[in-house]
Amino acid sequence: MATTVKYADVEVGTELPAGTFPVTRATLVQYAGASGDFNPIHWNEKFAKEVGLPDVIAHGMFTMAEAIRVVTDWTGDPAAVVEYGVRFTKPVVVPNDDKGAEIEVTAKVAAKLDDNRVRVDLTALSGGQKVLGMSRAVVQLV
């Protein structure tokens, strides 16, 4: 599937549709099984608190993956993302309740590059706090 977003139609400052992604303890267990990352800070509240965390936290790579969904949903093609990097600034704390946590993601085109590529800057928040810093993707458009 190729991206349907045209380079010529995109301007610096173009905002991508925002996304809100729920995270529950069940989500974390599913991700642990898929990724093989069974670190107890992601599922054991007692252990997480013993090592100084406020509660169980989401996997960093899970948080990163949820954030880039805003870009892949926009392009319609995950292969359009040719570079992606973040700095982890705060963990996504996932309480043991019916609601869990949410990752709220906004993004905008920050630069037009050569070869029909754009740089997209993302902002990811959870509980009102920034959880990813320097979150940037380079996207190949048509």
Res 100: pLDDT? 97
pTM of structure:
0.94
Tokens of 90: 């705060």
Res 19: pLDDT? 98
So where are the chain's domains? 7-140
Q: Is the Cβ–Cβ distance between 60 and 103 less than 8 Å?
A: no
For residues 50 and 56, what is the distance between their CA atoms, to the nearest angstrom?
A: 11
Res 2: pLDDT? 78
Res 136: pLDDT? 98
The pLDDT tens digits along the chain (142 residues) read 778 899 999 999 999 999 999 999 999 999 999 999 999 999 999 999 999 999 999 999 999 999 999 999 999 999 999 999 999 999 999 999 989 999 999 999 999 999 999 999 999 999 999 999 999 999 999 9
Res 107: pLDDT? 98
- The CATH number corresponding to 7-140 among 3.40.630.10, 3.90.25.10, 2.40.30.110, 3.10.129.10 equals 3.10.129.10
DSSP code string of the chain = ------GGG--TTPEEEEEEEEE-HHHHHHHHHHH----GGGT-HHHHHHTT-SS-B--HHHHHHHHHHHHHHHHS-GGGEEEEEEEE-S--B--SSSS-EEEEEEEEEEEE-STTEEEEEEEEEETTEEEEEEEEEEEE--
